[in-house]
Structure 1
Amino acid sequence: MNKAFVKEGDGSDEDDEVPAGVRLPPGTRNYMTRRGYEALRSELDLLVRTERPKMVETVAWAASNGDRSENGDYIYGKKRLREIDRRIRFLIKRIESAEVVDPADQRGIEQVFFGATVTIADVEDGDEQTWQIVGVDEADASAGRISWISPLARALLKAREGDAVRFVSPAGPREVEVVEVRYV
């Protein structure tokens, strides 16, 4: 068969294939903080203004060298271009559906809502941890930010200082006490 009629790729060209960690539950809004929104916008800007034009230039140069079937620069460039385009489509969808929430504007600050920074203590051993509840695209456990759809964040929502909440963690059922709630 002529190569003009064969789809080039590795078979994983699904646009809607999103890792489970950043998949939003059906019918929910894409809440995020201003910082998370700006991070997505800057990544999109970098891809559109810098990365994609460089890759297009590389692919054009590689294509001008002749035989494309064994041209590593051309093959890699086309693959990388597809990855960039897929990421651009993903970012555009996320930004369009974003609902930016400023934690400083929250009312009822004695309760845990989106954007809250919550200090919790494990009921069994008293270990304290501090987490900020953020959007799925800006969650980073190593930086103390968890997604609002995570089991811990869902258990904490609407809790107040002094409340004990139970949730199922990957290590099994846990109970924690809310020590402090603040909005930065």
Structure 2
Amino acid sequence: MNQIPMTTRGAEMLREELKRLKTEERPRIIQAIADAREHGDLKENAEYHAAREQQGFCEGRIQEIEAKLSNSQVIDVTKVPNQGKVIFGATVTVYNTVTDKEMTYRIVGDDEADIKQNLISINSPIARALIGKQIDDVARVNTPNGEVEYEVVKVEYI
């Protein structure tokens, strides 16, 4: 399996979720199943079936997180010398030549991506266009509304 790039913050968020699922959610669901069993006939016991379904989701998510963490390549961009190049984990300020506005994005792993916080996935079209660029370079991104040009204004490793 390919290594999954993630920032230090992204790996920490996954570890916290995994801990919560194992120490809080799993025991709560097991208790819900035990309580539902006490109500008798399991065939028509909605609480039992709902709890079993929750258990399946919880165990699936635990396995998914463990797999991601075991295949992760944690990149702490603050420990990389800033050569002015856009790399994974970098915070990039770009000038959108279409909207005439500046935007700042941080390029992160898929699990961390949140456009509302300007965190964009390494696999997004804009991030792929920006990787390897330097200040004053122009990245062209094909969007549903046509090509958009982003001029790299600032690259920070923070």
Same fold (TM over 0.5): yes
Asked whether the 8 Å contact 1:33–1:101 carries over to 2, the reply is yes
8 Å contact 1:152–1:169 — kept in the other structure?
A: no
Q: 1:28 to 1:121 in 2, by over 3 A?
A: farther
2:43 is aligned to 69
SS of 1:91 mapped into structure 2: helix
> How far apart are residue 108 of structure 1 and its match?
4.3
Equivalent-residue separation in structure 2 for 1:51 and 1:30 (angstroms): 26
User: 2:90 touches 2:156 (CA, 8 Å); kept in 1?
Assistant: yes
2:82/2:157 contact within 8 Å kept:
no
- CA apart distance, 1:139: 0.7
Q: Could you tell me which residue of structure 2 aligns to residue 84 of structure 1?
A: 58
Distance 1:170 1:44 in 2: 37
How far residue 65 of structure 1 moved from its aligned partner, in angstroms, is 1.6
Partners of 1:34 and 1:100 lie apart in 2 by 6
Corresponding position of 1:101? 75
CA contact (8 A) 2:82 2:156 kept: no
Which residue, out of 149, 168, 183, partners 2:142?
A: 168
Q: Does 1:111 align with 2:80?
A: no
Which amino acid letter does the alignment assign opposite residue 36 of structure 2?
A: A
**Residue 32 of structure 2 aligns to which amino acid in structure 1?**
T
What's the CA shift for 1:53?
0.7
> How many residues are treated as equivalent by the alignment?
158
Q: Distance in 2 between matches of 1:102 and 1:135?
A: 12
Structure 1: stretches of 5+ with no match in the other structure: 1-26
Q: Which runs of 4+ in 1 moved over 2 A?
A: 169-172
Q: Percent identity?
A: 37
Which residue of structure 2 lines up, in the alignment, with residue 56 of structure 1?
A: 30
What root-mean-square deviation, in Å, do the aligned CA atoms of Structure 1 and Structure 2 show?
Answer: 1.2
Q: Is the CA contact (8 Å cut-off) linking 2:86 and 2:92 kept in structure 1?
A: yes
Partner Cα separation in structure 1 for residue 135 and residue 2 of structure 2: 27
Letter in 2 for 1:100: V
Mark the runs of 5 or more structure 2 residues left unpaired by the alignment: none
- 2:156 maps to 182
- Calculate the TM-score normalised by the size of structure 2: 0.95
Do the aligned residues in 2 keep the contact of 1:109 with 1:181 (CA within 8 Å)? no
User: Would you tell me which structure has more strand in proportion to its own residues?
Assistant: 2
